[in-house]
């Protein structure tokens, strides 16, 4: 059953080691490697011996003390049984050990097979009568979810995971410690070592309460981020092109560059070495393009508005020596996204200024863009950035420093021609507004001379923002005429447009 998973078996415990302390120890299982991101009867978390007794889909009981025997104790109709563990996904050995050490009562969901009882779901239940899920089950599902999303470990260290894990946050020292013991292998090595050191600080009686509080907060932030690999699945270029054509008119050169980026990701399964810098007049859709790229890449995105940043510390965070210290905006962005692979949309890169005469705070982004890792002063740890894809916007690239500019592939966004604006108004702006406010297209019509009047009204501005506002104005007026004046439809001529505006 497990041949397709490229099994590799190894003993987890050496019964001959420390024989004095492990007298009578019995290891019953081997481990297999798996990279499946979901558990199922065909891809189980573990396999129990069902040769003595086959049982129903679910069972309730306890894993035994892992230093004495590797088994599962349970009852059926008041009769007690012990079932040896035959196989475990190598990612879950520490978790099963932890469940046994802490005597956690669990509900197992599985299916009988020729191999044994294939367990694909583990839930914590409350002690006492009944089989109600424990309030602590959210933490267990959180760890299982992280382990399933991780790659198989080199050494031993369902149904899809319950959605209750999505809102789980590690805040207490107990949950942080348990997570490190059970799922620490899902963290990058440098972060795992950092977490161990900070856990010592948070528990120490030799440091100030402020230091302990900062260490615990930093741990909570770091461990609530899913640290993913920098391997990216292939993206359908046809679907990517469809998304671009639906939202953007023209801009063929821009679309081509984006599709080229998609093709590069498909070939290498890594992000390009350079981010994208979109340069053009205000209102030409630079931010919209950035959001579309994030949608195509199927990655969470976060926004940095550089026009509001006047101090590098806003980006890098403040040192823990201050009582009011906190992480920087970049680290908070990772925390909000909840994972390490994300799109950073850096708006108005050319407008970042320093309020105290120091270097441009935007230059702090250099380490973020180099994919060598970013260090936040509060976290005091090198943050992996190989899964970060930066997309920046600017009106004037001459105001961006040369080192920063060299980290981007620059795409110039020209302003729209008058004919392009006509098409955008009729096919994009006006239909979008009409749909949003519940009007049919035949209830708000614009004649050719009316359209020319709209364009004349917007002729002194770049981009299409004024065009979209004009569409909003016309649609709102048409809705008023229909609802209040009881008109069946409204057709706008040049005179009506000029009078309205």
What is the CB neighbour count within 10 angstroms for residue 223? Answer: 26
> pTM for this one?
0.66
β 388-394/490-492 pair status: unpaired
Q: What angle do CA 378, 384, 389 make, to 5 degrees?
A: 110
d(CA 334, CA 225): 7
The rounded distance, in Å, linking the Cα atoms of 72 and 63 is 4
pLDDT for the residue numbered 13: 36
Q: How far apart, in whole angstroms, are the C-alpha atoms of residue 312 and residue 324?
A: 17
d(CA 112, CA 30): 19
| Spatial distance between the Cα atoms of 386 and 339, rounded to a whole number of angstroms | 12
Three-state secondary structure readout of 155-195: CCCCCCCCHHHHHCCCCCHHHHHHHHHHHHHHCCHHHHHHH
| CB-CB contact of 40 with 161 (8 Å) | no
Please, which residues have CB within 8 angstroms of residue 231's CB and are 6 or more apart in sequence?
269, 270
Tokens of 134: 């424990």
pLDDT, position 2 = 44
52-84 burial: b if 16+ Cβ within 10 Å, else e: eeebeeebebbbbebeebbbbebeeeeeebebb
Beta carbons of 337 and 345 less than 8 angstroms apart: no
Residue 216, pLDDT score? 92
CA distances 420 to 108, 287, 468, Å, are 62, 19, 14
**Per-residue model confidence (pLDDT) at position 11:** 36
Taking the C-alpha atoms of residue 90 and residue 8, their distance in angstroms, rounded to an integer, is: 9
User: Per-residue confidence of the chain (501 residues) as pLDDT tens digits?
Assistant: 444 443 443 333 333 334 444 555 667 888 888 888 899 999 999 999 988 777 778 888 899 888 788 889 888 777 888 889 999 998 998 899 889 888 888 999 999 988 899 999 999 888 655 556 666 788 888 889 988 888 765 544 433 434 444 445 677 888 888 888 888 888 899 999 999 999 999 999 899 999 999 999 999 999 999 888 888 889 999 999 999 988 888 788 888 989 999 999 999 999 998 899 999 888 778 888 888 998 999 889 888 888 888 888 888 899 998 888 999 999 999 998 888 999 999 998 888 765 555 556 777 788 888 878 889 999 999 999 889 999 999 988 888 888 888 889 998 888 788 888 888 888 888 998 998 888 888 889 999 898 889 888 888 777 778 888 888 999 999 999 999 988 888 888 888 888 888
237-247 and 286-297 helices cross at what angle (nearest 10)? Answer: 150
Among the listed residues 414, 411, 376, the one whose alpha carbon sits nearest the alpha carbon of residue 275: 411
Structure tokens at 304: 């940095």
What are the Cα distances from residue 34, in Å, to 4, 28, 89?
10, 20, 6
d(CA 367, CA 328): 14
Q: Domains in the chain, start-ordered, CATH in brackets?
A: 3-167 (no CATH), 187-223 (no CATH), 237-412 (3.40.50.300), 418-500 (1.10.8.60)
- For 163, counting Cβ atoms within 10 Å of its Cβ (0-12 exposed, 13-18 middle, 19+ buried), the class is exposed
Contacts of 43 (CB under 8 A, 6+ apart): 5, 34, 36, 120
Identify how many contiguous H helices and E strands the chain contains and give both numbers: 17, 16
As a whole number of angstroms, the distance between CA 200 and CA 205 comes to 10
- Helix H or strand E segment including 437: helix 430-437
Reading phi first (left if > 0) and then psi (alpha if -120 to 50, else beta), residue 139 is in alpha
Closest CA to 169 of 203, 143, 131: 143
Consecutive H or E run containing 444:
strand 444-446
Cα 151 to Cα 342: distance, rounded to the nearest angstrom: 19
3-state helix, strand, coil in the chain (%, to 5): 40, 20, 40
**φ/ψ of residue 411, rounded to 5:** -120, 120
Residues 278, 413 contacting (CB under 8 angstroms): yes
Lookup: tokens for 456: 């004349």
pLDDT at site 242 = 92
């Amino acid at each position: 059953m497990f041949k397709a998973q490229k099994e590799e078996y190894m003993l987890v415990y050496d019964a001959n080691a420390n024989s004095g302390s492990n007298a009578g120890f019995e290891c019953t299982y081997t481990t297999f490697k798996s990279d499946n991101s979901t558990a199922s009867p065909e891809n189980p978390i573990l396999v129990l011996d069902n040769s003595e007794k086959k049982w129903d889909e679910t069972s309730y009981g306890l894993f035994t003390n892992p230093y004495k025997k590797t088994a599962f104790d349970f009852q059926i109709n008041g009769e007690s049984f012990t079932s040896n563990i035959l196989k475990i996904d190598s990612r879950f050995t520490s978790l099963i050990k932890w469940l046994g050490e802490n005597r956690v009562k669990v509900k197992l969901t599985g299916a009988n097979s020729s191999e044994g009882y294939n367990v694909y779901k583990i839930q914590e239940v409350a002690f006492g009568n009944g089989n109600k899920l424990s309030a602590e089950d959210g933490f267990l599902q959180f760890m299982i979810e992280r382990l399933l999303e991780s790659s198989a470990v080199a050494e031993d260290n369902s149904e899809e995971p319950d959605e209750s894990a999505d809102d789980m946050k590690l805040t207490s020292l107990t949950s942080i410690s348990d997570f490190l013991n059970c799922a620490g292998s899902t963290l990058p090595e440098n972060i795992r070592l950092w977490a161990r050191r900070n856990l010592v600080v948070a528990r120490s009686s030799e440091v100030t309460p402020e230091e302990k509080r900062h260490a615990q907060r930093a741990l909570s932030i770091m461990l609530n981020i899913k640290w993913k690999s920098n391997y990216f699945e292939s993206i359908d270029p046809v679907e990517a092109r469809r998304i671009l054509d639906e939202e953007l008119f023209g801009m063929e050169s821009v679309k081509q560059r984006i599709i080229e980026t998609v093709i590069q990701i498909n070939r290498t399964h890594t992000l390009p070495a350079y981010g994208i810098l979109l340069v053009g007049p205000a209102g030409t859709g630079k931010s919209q393009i950035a959001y579309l790229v994030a949608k195509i890449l199927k990655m969470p995105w976060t926004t940095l508005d550089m026009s509001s940043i006047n101090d590098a510390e806003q980006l890098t965070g403040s040192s823990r020596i201050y009582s009011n210290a906190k992480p920087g905006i970049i680290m908070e962005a990772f925390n909000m996204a909840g994972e390490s692979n994300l799109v950073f949309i850096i708006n108005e890169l050319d407008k970042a200024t320093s309020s105290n005469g120091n270097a441009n705070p935007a230059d702090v982004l250099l380490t973020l863009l180099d994919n060598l890792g970013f260090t936040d002063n509060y976290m005091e740890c090198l943050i992996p950035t190989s899964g970060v894809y930066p997309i920046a916007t600017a009106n004037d690239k001459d105001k961006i420093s040369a080192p920063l500019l060299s980290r981007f592939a620059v795409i110039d966004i020209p302003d729209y021609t008058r004919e392009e604006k006509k098409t955008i108004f009729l096919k994009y702006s006006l239909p979008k507004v009409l749909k949003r406010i519940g009007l049919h297209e035949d209830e708000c019509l614009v004649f050719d001379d009316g359209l020319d009047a709209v364009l004349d009204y917007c002729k002194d501005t770049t981009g299409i923002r004024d065009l979209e506002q004009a569409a909003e104005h016309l649609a709102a007026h048409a809705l008023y005429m229909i609802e209040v004046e009881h008109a069946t439809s409204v057709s706008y001529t040049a005179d009506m447009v000029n009078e309205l505006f």
